[in-house]
Amino acid sequence: MITGLRSKLKQFIKMVPKVVFVLGGPGAGKGTQCQNIVRDFGFVHLSAGDLLREERANPNSQYGELIENYIREGKIVPVDITCSLLERAMEESGKERFLIDGFPRNQDNLEGWNRRVASKVQLLMVLFFDCPIEICTERCLNRGAAGSGRSDDNLESLKKRFNTYQVETKPIIDYYQKMNLVRRLDASLSPDEVFNQVKNVLNESNLQ
């Protein structure tokens, strides 16, 4: 009886999805490092920005135009749209460990997440890719010049994106910092050097 209960409990614990949030300014290398983490640590990578761009490209979506306007202006899309996309992607993956990249990006994102999802998952940590604005700008402009095809990898959109990051996203990082969940990485270094830091952080944490 106790054994049965214990295995049921184990099953239950296993089923609670684990989440790592990935935050940092535009061009801080979140996407690049997430790919590395997926390869070596077996997480599912869900980029809020990518999911929004996918939704924008769907001709049947009623939100395409709204999303494009927000992205071009570097503003944060209302959370119900983003959270629905994230929840659907989590469900469809059938997996249990998620890197949620570029979310929560402002107070609205945070409140929506706390209202809709937080109690159903375990938040393991927030990886904070900290990078000076000059380096981030250069990376994004290079990415644009190399043909990223992104409508927001231009100087005008970038200024707005950085402003949004400073004014809206930084306080969210501070909020998680107070909960002791933030792991800061020096994201100004080369991709390999940043990944070494990431590996140290993840290896030190109990990810089971």
Q: Does 143 bind Mg ion (CB under 5 A)?
A: no
The token pair that represents 10 in the structure block: 């184990």
CB of 206 to Mg ion, least distance (A): 27
Q: Which is nearer to ligand C5P, 80 or 91 (CB)?
A: 80
* 14, 146 Cβ separation under 8 angstroms: no
* 182, 176 Cβ separation under 8 angstroms: yes
Q: Which is nearer to Mg ion, 7 or 142 (CB)?
A: 142
Binding residues for ligand C5P, rule: CB under 6 A, are: 26, 48-49, 52, 70-71, 74-77, 82, 102-103, 105, 109, 152, 161
Burial of 50 (C-beta count, 10 Å sphere; 0-12/13-18/19+): middle
Considering only the stretches 11-19, 43-51, 110-118, 193-201, report the one whose residues sit in contact with Mg ion under the rule CB under 5 A. 43-51
Please identify which residue in the block is written with the tokens 């809206």: 168
Q: Does 31 bind Mg ion (CB under 5 A)?
A: yes
CB of 18 to ligand C5P, least distance (A): 19
CB of 48 to ligand C5P, least distance (A): 4
CB of 78 to ligand C5P, least distance (A): 8
Pick what 23 binds: Mg ion, ligand C5P, none; C-beta below 5 to 8 Å, kind-dependent.
none
Considering only the stretches 26-34, 70-78, 122-130, 140-148, report the one whose residues sit in contact with Mg ion under the rule CB under 5 A. 26-34
Q: How many CB atoms lie within 10 A of CB 141?
A: 15
SS3 state at 21 = strand
SS3 state at 1 = coil
Question: What stretches of the chain show up as alpha helix (H) in DSSP?
Answer: 2-15, 30-41, 48-57, 64-72, 79-93, 107-116, 133-145, 155-164, 170-178, 191-204
* 64, 74 Cβ separation under 8 angstroms: no
Nearest-Å Rg of the Cα atoms of the chain is 18
Considering only the stretches 28-36, 92-100, 129-137, 185-193, report the one whose residues sit in contact with Mg ion under the rule CB under 5 A. 28-36
Tell me how far apart the alpha carbons of residues 137 and 130 are, in angstroms, rounded to a whole number: 13
Pick what 112 binds: Mg ion, ligand C5P, none; C-beta below 5 to 8 Å, kind-dependent.
none
CB of 111 to ligand C5P, least distance (A): 13
Return the residue nearest ligand C5P (CB atom): 49
Tell me how far apart the alpha carbons of residues 77 and 105 are, in angstroms, rounded to a whole number: 10
Contact set with Mg ion (CB under 5 A): 31, 49
